[in-house]
Structure 1
Amino acid sequence: MFGDMMGMMNKIKEAQDNVEKTKERLKTVLIDEQSSDGLLKVTVTAAREVKSIDIADELLEDKEQLEDYLVLTLNKAISKASDINEKELGAAAKDGMPDIPGLGDMFK
């Protein structure tokens, strides 16, 4: 009984380590997004951190338009990053977990 419990605890620890490694790796996965006309380009990580913003000079002349472009383009990039983040972390957590009846339903 205690052997099973220790094995289960080790599996949980492995899953936690795997999730932490995945979180670190997601900081290096870059997602590039741009406005439909290419005047604004952003790069974010899969950990949802903005890495760069490239703005065409013509957008600097219209503050309201620039703000709209930033909101739309950043939201698209963050949405893609969130999708990747959730899939990767869910898979990392599920892979290392012990086989406990009903636990698999948590990761669907």
Structure 2
Amino acid sequence: MFDMMKKLQEAQRQMKEIKDRLETIYVSGKSNNGSITVTSNGNRKITGIDFASDYQNQNDPEFKMEMVSAINDALDKANTVNESEMKSAASTMMPGMGGLFK
């Protein structure tokens, strides 16, 4: 029972380390036309939005579509990083169980 509690505490410590590390990993996603770049960290938090210097018309009907496209691209990349880190941690903590995070 004590060993189980110790392993659980170790797993919790490792998960916190992973979350902290994911906070420092940044990915960027671009809109379909490349005019908008959205940055996210590995914990899937949006940390920045940049517009191309020549992109001036935010009333353009396509603006919302481009913004959504850039956000989704950034979050897809953040999910990939997040899943990779979790899979790596799972295989370290519980050998043979890394396949749970596919």
Tell me the TM-score normalised to structure 1 length.
0.75
Query: In structure 2, do the counterparts of structure 1 residues 51 and 95 end up closer, same or farther at CA, with 3 Å as the change threshold?
Result: same
TM superposition shift of 1:36: 4.1
The letter for the 2-side match of 1:50 is I
Residue 48 of structure 2 aligns to a residue whose secondary structure is strand
Query: Which of 53, 65, 86 pairs up with 2:62?
Result: 65
Determine which structure has more spread, i.e. the larger CA radius of gyration. Answer: 1
The letter for the 1-side match of 2:61 is E
Correspondence 1:1-108 to 2 at 5 A: 5-56=1-52, 57-97=54-94, 104=97, 107-108=100-101
Between structures 1 and 2, the one with greater helix share: 1
Write the distance in 2 (CA, Å) between the matches of 1:74 and 1:83. Answer: 14
Residue 58 of structure 1 aligns to a residue whose secondary structure is coil
The letter for the 1-side match of 2:23 is K
Q: Which runs of 5+ in 1 are unaligned?
A: none
Write the distance in 2 (CA, Å) between the matches of 1:105 and 1:36. Answer: 34
Q: Which runs of 5+ in 2 are unaligned?
A: none
- Structure with the bigger RCO (C-alpha within 8 Å, sep 6+) is 1
The letter for the 1-side match of 2:100 is F
Q: What RMSD, in angstroms, separates the aligned Cα atoms of the two structures? A: 2.4
Residue 60 of structure 1 aligns to a residue whose secondary structure is coil
Question: What is the number of residues matched between the two proteins?
Answer: 100
TM superposition shift of 1:47: 0.6
The letter for the 2-side match of 1:26 is L
Residue 16 of structure 1 aligns to a residue whose secondary structure is helix
